[in-house]
Amino acid sequence: KCRTGPLDIVFVIDSSRSVRPFEFEIMRQFMMDIIGSLDVGPNATRVGVIQYSSQVQNIFSLKTFFTRADMEKAINSIIPLAQGTMTGLAIQYAMNVAFTTQEGARPPHKKIPRIAIIVTDGRPQDRVTEVATQARNAGIEIYAVGIQRADMNSLRAMASPPLEEHVFLVESFELIQQFGKQFQDKLCGVDLCVEQDHGCQHSCVSTPGSFYCECNPGYRLNVDGKTCSPIDVCADGRHGCQHQCVNTRGSYLCRCRAGYYLNQDKRSCTMIDYCSFGNHSCQHECVSIPNGHYCRCRSGFTLQPDSRSCMATDLCNGVDHGCEFKCMSTEGSYRCVCPEGQQLQADGKACSKCGAGHVDLVMVIDGSKSVRPQNFELVKQFVNRIVDLLEVSPHGTRVGLVQYSSRVRTEFPLNKYHSADEIKKAVMEVEYMEKGTMTGLALKHMVEHSFSELEGARPLSHNVPRIGFVFTDGRSQDDISEWARRAKESGIVMFAVGVGKAVEEELRAIASEPVEQHFSYSADFTTMTHLVENFKLNICPEEGKGEMEIRSPCECEALVQFQTNTVAILQSLTEKNILWARSLAQMTARLEDLEKQIAKKK
């Protein structure tokens, strides 16, 4: 057996048609004789076999078998290709495939010799010089064995130097077995690790005609090529320990700082969760820290001297709350409140009357053909009267305007104008659209666009009321129910105002609850001024306390009521006049009696 240490050997066997069957059987035996002299195994010598003719066939690779029995069985099952002689192609395959780490060759840094044994009986039909040079430069040691009709020049072109040790020409197939024994001696040579004092501190590895020293795991070979030094794995920074690296003999281990434990990957560390032990006694929250824990209270609570229990903090007394009227403490927080009749501003601190409150108001006006141009001008005046009720400013009330007919158009969004004068001027410049009445489409536009933060609506978290005001004079040509519902579900307070032929059922569907306070109707455009006051009373209910409900003086019920009230007042005045007349007559009679009595006394 070879005692030269591990090798990576690939047999490159010519199976062209010139090799007769009994001759190929001799080549099989030649390979098995060589393998029989080797110490094969995953950590010893590895063997691969390829055959070639006009093409290359891999019989088994360096990683396929690790016992001689398996290798011999595979060799005995080879079926010759019996075609041409493409030796250069076979060398290229050996270099690019057979001797790769993917096919089982050991990495170059392990210094395992790579040996190709080419056995051929003829002249190559392709070029071998260039590809053989590339293979040798890649670290492959090539033995060229020619039999009988082989071309000596081709053999010399393929083989590694020195040629006298790597080129062999056997006169006949019958002599190849005898040559095999000589080749074994050439391949194996003398085991210098045994025959001489190698001087390696740890271990000696034999190679054909030479040897080299190796160190045990955890050590590196010194520059003298013989002695070894411990590798300081922790020093080179590649250990991967999260906290601390501790060198051991030939290796290392990771260690965690106090208060942490080592994870299963033996590198990373996790802080010990002392709170999970269940004995912290914290009333609110337990916070783990290295080597212990501490108790923490929720926001608005103060940790007591026992470092465990918590007590609510009166933030109204403990912080500069900034409430204009009154601060009310809640659990862990506080809130500002305003007196009756005033509402809290967007800053959550200041108070103001409803007329000066913060509102995001979008008015959606009907610009369909049925409105007619002269009435559309009245609608614009109506809009401006509503604007007069509001304190418009960037931080106060914001107003947007949408007009619709068969399509929808934003005349100006909530963030366009910052004063009432600017809005009123813009309203008067709005152009009449005409065409159809797509109220449902207008409601969809209002929900999806007009009340978006992009168009100036304040975030819902600011608690600024969102009011939608829909003005129409007729029946919608599309469905309004879905988007009326979505508008109210999204927090928009909906007011519906109808004029003329507006459908009460649709107005009620648009209006928020209670419906009676959120929808109004006027018989025609010229008598709708009273709707402004109704709108004012409904968005600022405290301003209407103690006052009579205002109705259109032209409505039938109002006329009847007016007549009834007038008659009652006239009757009251008549009764009072009768009483005054009776009293006056009685007084006159008494005066006459007094005058008579005075006259008698004289």
pLDDT, residue 356, reads 45
| Superfamily classification of domain 360-539 | von Willebrand factor, type A domain (3.40.50.410)
What CATH number belongs to 314-354? 2.10.25.10
pLDDT, residue 544, reads 36
pLDDT, residue 554, reads 47
In the three-class reduction of DSSP (H, G, I as helix; E, B as strand; rest coil), residue 230 is classed as: strand
pLDDT, residue 464, reads 87
Which among 140, 96, 113, 121 is positioned nearest to 38, based on CA atoms? 113
Return the ∠ at Cα 522 (arms to 518 and 523), rounded to 5°.
150
- Percent composition of the chain: helix, strand, coil (DSSP 3-state, to 5): 35, 25, 40
Which among 508, 507, 446 is positioned nearest to 472, based on CA atoms? 507
pLDDT tens for each residue of 408-455? 999 999 999 999 999 999 999 999 998 899 999 999 999 999 999 999
Radius of gyration of the chain (CA): 54
Which among 494, 472, 488, 465 is positioned nearest to 390, based on CA atoms? 465
pLDDT, residue 586, reads 64
Low-confidence ranges of the chain (pLDDT < 70): 1-5, 172-191, 208-209, 250, 318-319, 331-332, 339-343, 351-357, 527-534, 536-591, 594, 600-602
Beta-strand runs (E) in 529-574 = none
Identical fold between 314-354 and 360-539: no
The CATH class given to the 7-188 domain equals: alpha beta
Which among 91, 97, 115, 165 is positioned nearest to 4, based on CA atoms? 115
Listed by start position, the domains of the chain span 7-188, 314-354, 360-539
Contact predicate 349/337, CB 8 Å: no
